[in-house]
Amino acid sequence: MELMMEFDFGKTAAIVITGNEILSGKVPEQNAQYLARELRALGVNLERVTIIPDQTKPIAEEIAFCKDRFDFIFTSGGIGPTHDDVTVAGVALGLSRKLIENPALSKMLRDSYPDRVNPALMKMAYVPEGTEFIFGAGLKSPVLLIENIYIFPGVPEFLVKKFSAIKERFQEAPFYLKKIFLRQDEEKIAEPLNKTLEQFPRLLLGSYPILHQKEYKVVVTIESKEIGLLEQATKTLLSFLPEESVYKVE
């Protein structure tokens, strides 16, 4: 359970995962989890994650929905040469932009794969009109940026390499975190959490039941972008809790 009042926590993000293999359970999803951790560490507030099929229309609809609601949109998957790689086309449709062949990408593909040049390969040279190329250290191919949409590959190793190379551009004020480990059941701490949030609305409060742990039953997380406020809120919440219920604070 996570509690928060309406408050601006800085830049926001959405993640759009495409892949029938994810939706069918054939392949475990890893990229959203990785991006969520990285974005949190960068101080970006992730607010939406969707997994949609390899179809142009659903991708376009999701992009159209997200583009004006979030500061950053990250797509993952569907950028290869096969028939079901339609993310780039979906993004173009969602932004009402034409797909055009980019000469630089075309040359890059021909130079990199001189023995494999065919229509399927050259499909990857087509991008939405107005696409920017973002290069980072160690990248042989760029991250595609259209407006506020960053297009990443679906293979986790490739996504990690590309995101790591450019992630500093997303740096915001960090989230500070405190954890309180409690011996009480979750329903007994709802009132203290609500009272704390009333006094400190610029907080993210979360409570998470822990099973099969003898020492404590719930972990409460307190997050803020203001370190002083975090310390004050932690002291306040602890004052609302019986001292014997607190196992430890980190």
pLDDT at 7 over 80: no
| CA 214 – CA 199 distance, rounded (Å) | 32
| CA 171 – CA 236 distance, rounded (Å) | 30
- What six digits make up the tokens of 6? 């309406």
Write out the CATH class of domain 2-170. alpha beta
Cα-flanking dihedrals φ and ψ of residue 91, to 5°?
-65, -45
* pLDDT of the residue at 120: 86
> Is the distance from CB of 225 to CB of 11 less than 8 angstroms?
no
| CA 41 – CA 152 distance, rounded (Å) | 19
pLDDT at 2 over 80: no
* pLDDT of the residue at 149: 99
User: Considering the chain, what percentage of its residues have pLDDT values greater than 70?
Assistant: 97
| CA 10 – CA 30 distance, rounded (Å) | 25
Predicted confidence (pLDDT) per residue in 112-135, tens digit? 888 888 988 889 899 999 999 999
Strand partners, 146: 149
| CA 78 – CA 151 distance, rounded (Å) | 9
Predicted confidence (pLDDT) per residue in 32-81, tens digit? 999 999 999 999 999 999 999 999 999 999 999 999 999 999 999 999 99
Strand partners, 249: 180
- Confirm whether 2-170 and 176-249 share one CATH topology: no
pTM: 0.91
Q: What angle (nearest 5°) sits at the alpha carbon of residue 230, between those of residues 191 and 207? A: 40
Predicted confidence (pLDDT) per residue in 160-205, tens digit? 999 999 999 999 999 999 999 999 999 999 999 999 999 998 899 9
> Is the distance from CB of 219 to CB of 181 less than 8 angstroms?
yes
- What kind of architecture, by CATH, is found in domain 176-249? 2-Layer Sandwich (3.30)
Residue among 124, 21, 128, 141 at smallest CA distance from 81: 124
| CA 20 – CA 51 distance, rounded (Å) | 9
pLDDT at 243 over 90: yes
Q: Would you kindly state where each structural domain of the chain is located, as residue ranges? A: 2-170, 176-249
Strand partners, 204: 4, 223
* pLDDT of the residue at 121: 87
**How confident is the model over 86-97, as a mean pLDDT?**
98
* pLDDT of the residue at 115: 87
* pLDDT of the residue at 14: 99
- What six digits make up the tokens of 148? 């506020």
